């Protein structure tokens, strides 16, 4: 047996590698929701960490391992590759070990609560944004589908992660043809999945499967255009053109993307001067990065945006001009007390940033109906007692059966 690993967890060696994954004893496994797959996939807990173990063919395991590692270096939203275990006895197939993505939900688990059309919209937005982000990095997925994606809650929206990179390829830059091909694959896959959901009675009756798949492509095209289109501006060097550039960059930041540079080109056309600008968008995560820098908190993009709003409001109220100092005070005096108020048995229900975001939303609702601000502490108590206890566990390491939810 041979283990190739980026992070050697010695406990990995003790797993029952001489038995086919399908026959691993139940006491080694964690029952967690998972998507549909050709290969056998199981979850195991070692120490405090849960891993996903997938039996696959050797060349594929290596390829996927390398690609996931490369995506990680680029900061792409994807599951993290941990190890390959090959040369097992009796010619058992090699396995790829990835870290289980905490609080993630495969789409089947989401659909089992008869999904409302608005929720579906958000899932499709998240999937389209994931494909855009991967394409910006030069990654051709080759098998984009709902079952190859994991979703995490993100302040009323979803953040999507790639889980299956088996068919992918990383290029310096993708051509339009490559992007189109990837989109067509996504369209076909998602259409098939939506048909399956419909057949299983899980698709809302107002939703048409063909519309679902076309919609992902449409959302992708809109976002791609927004991020990359060349824009005509008035004339270079004027205040107006500077304002236009600023506006474009702010708009891209609002969408969560950072701009690395702006290329301007100037064309003299029959005495008329035309200036165009094209931003080089790097990656999403604008708010995530600002929050991380200020507070050390790691949150999804929309969560980060909501937390930053709260932080900015706190800073204005408490009149602390220094951003870093305000952030530190907010973290220790506002954020952390809310998280600490959650009793241990409820901690697996929502991860801390999501919990905080939902608490602020709850406070707003209570205040609206009371006609005055109810304050943070009562809002926390009411959220714990009236909302959180009724929620399913999503921490995943605790394990839950989505069918029961």
Ligand X SMILES: Nc1ncnc2c1ncn2[C@@H]1O[C@H](COP(=O)(O)OP(=O)(O)OP(=O)(O)O)[C@@H](O)[C@H]1O
Task: Please report, as residue ranges, which positions from 93 to 112 form the binding site for ligand X (by CB under 6 A).
Answer: 98-101, 104, 106
Q: Is 38 in the site for ligand X (CB under 6 A)?
A: yes
Nearest to ligand X of 61, 217 (CB atom): 61
Task: Please report, as residue ranges, which positions from 5 to 34 form the binding site for ligand X (by CB under 6 A).
Answer: 34
CB of 29 to ligand X, least distance (A): 13
Task: Please report, as residue ranges, which positions from 152 to 211 form the binding site for ligand X (by CB under 6 A).
Answer: 163-164, 166
Q: Is 37 in the site for Mg ion (CB under 5 A)?
A: yes
DSSP 266-288: EEEETTEEEEEEEEEEEEE-HHH
8 A C-beta contact, residue 297 and residue 353:
yes
The candidate with the shortest Cα–Cα distance to 260, out of 297, 227, 225, 309, is 227
Stretch that binds Mg ion, among 26-34, 106-114, 161-169, 326-334 (CB under 5 A): 161-169
Quick one: what does residue 54 bind among Mg ion, ligand X, none, with the CB cut-off 5 to 8 Å set by partner type?
ligand X
Please select the residue that binds Mg ion; options are 148, 288, 302, 358, rule is CB under 5 A: 148
Strands 41-46 and 2-5: unpaired
Q: Which residues contact 308 (CB under 8 A, 6 or more apart)?
A: 287, 290, 291, 294
DSSP 101-155: -TT-EEHHHHHTS---HHHHHHHHHHHHHHHHHHHHTTEE-S---STTEEEEEET
Quick one: what does residue 79 bind among ligand X, Mg ion, none, with the CB cut-off 5 to 8 Å set by partner type?
ligand X
Nearest to Mg ion of 39, 347 (CB atom): 39
Stretch that binds ligand X, among 70-78, 142-150, 306-314, 327-335 (CB under 6 A): 142-150
Stretch that binds ligand X, among 38-46, 151-159, 173-181, 192-200 (CB under 6 A): 38-46
Q: How many CA atoms lie within 13 A of 80 on its CB side?
A: 13
Nearest to Mg ion of 37, 119 (CB atom): 37
The residues pairing with 193 across neighbouring beta strands, listed in sequence order, are none
Name the strand (E) or helix (H) holding 228.
Answer: helix 209-228
Q: Is 56 in the site for Mg ion (CB under 5 A)?
A: no
Q: Is 164 in the site for Mg ion (CB under 5 A)?
A: yes
The candidate with the shortest Cα–Cα distance to 169, out of 284, 282, 68, 96, is 68
Between 48 and 67, how does the x/- string for binding to ligand X read (CB under 6 A)? ----x-x-------------
Quick one: what does residue 182 bind among ligand X, Mg ion, none, with the CB cut-off 5 to 8 Å set by partner type?
none
Name the strand (E) or helix (H) holding 5.
Answer: strand 2-5
What secondary structure letter does DSSP report for 96?
A: E
Q: Is 193 in the site for Mg ion (CB under 5 A)?
A: no
| Residue in the block written with tokens 């076309």 | 214
Name the site residues for ligand X (rule: CB under 6 A): 34-35, 37-39, 41, 52, 54, 79, 98-101, 104, 106, 147-148, 150, 163-164, 166
> Using CB under 5 A as the criterion, which residues of the chain lie in contact with Mg ion when the complex forms?
37, 148, 164
């Amino acid at each position: 047996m041979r283990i190739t690993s980026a992070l050697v967890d010695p406990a990995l060696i003790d797993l029952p590698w001489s038995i086919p994954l399908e026959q691993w004893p139940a006491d080694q496994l964690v029952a967690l929701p998972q998507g549909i797959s050709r290969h056998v996939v199981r979850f195991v807990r070692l120490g405090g960490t849960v891993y996903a173990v997938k039996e696959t063919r050797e060349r594929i395991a290596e390829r996927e391992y390398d690609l996931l590692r490369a995506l990680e270096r680029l900061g792409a939203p994807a599951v993290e590759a941990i190890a390959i275990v090959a040369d097992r006895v009796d010619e058992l197939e090699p396995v790829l070990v990835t870290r289980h993505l905490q609080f993630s939900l495969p789409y089947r688990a989401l659909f089992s609560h008869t999904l409302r059309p608005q929720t579906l919209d958000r899932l499709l937005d998240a999937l389209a944004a994931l494909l855009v982000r991967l394409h910006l990095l030069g990654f051709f997925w080759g098998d984009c589908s709902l079952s190859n994606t994991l979703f995490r809650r993100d302040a009323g929206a979803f953040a999507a992660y790639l889980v299956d990179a088996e068919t992918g390829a990383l290029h310096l830059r993708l051509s339009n043809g490559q992007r189109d091909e990837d989109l067509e694959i996504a369209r076909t896959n998602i259409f098939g999945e939506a048909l399956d959901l419909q057949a299983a009675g899980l698709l809302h009756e107002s939703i048409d499967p063909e519309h679902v798949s076309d919609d992902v492509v449409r959302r992708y095209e809109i976002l791609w255009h927004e991020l990359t289109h060349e824009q005509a501006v008035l004339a270079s060097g004027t205040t107006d053109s500077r304002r236009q550039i600023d506006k474009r960059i702010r708009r891209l930041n609002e969408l969560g993307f950072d701009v690395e540079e702006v290329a301007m080109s100037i064309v003299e056309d029959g005495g008329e001067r035309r200036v165009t600008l094209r931003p080089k968008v790097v990656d999403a995560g604008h708010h995530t990065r600002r929050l991380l820098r200020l507070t050390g908190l790691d949150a999804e993009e929309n969560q980060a945006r909501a937390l930053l709003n709260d932080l900015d409001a706190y800073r204005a109220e408490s009149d602390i001009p220094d951003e870093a100092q305000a952030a530190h005070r907010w973290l220790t005096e506002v954020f952390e007390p809310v998280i600490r108020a959650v009793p241990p048995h409820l901690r697996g229900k929502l991860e801390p940033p999501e919990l905080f975001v939902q608490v602020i939303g709850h406070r707003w609702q209570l205040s609206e109906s009371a006609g005055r601000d109810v304050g943070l502490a009562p809002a926390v108590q009411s959220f714990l007692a009236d909302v959180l206890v009724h929620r399913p566990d999503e921490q995943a390491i605790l394990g839950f059966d989505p069918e029961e939810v």
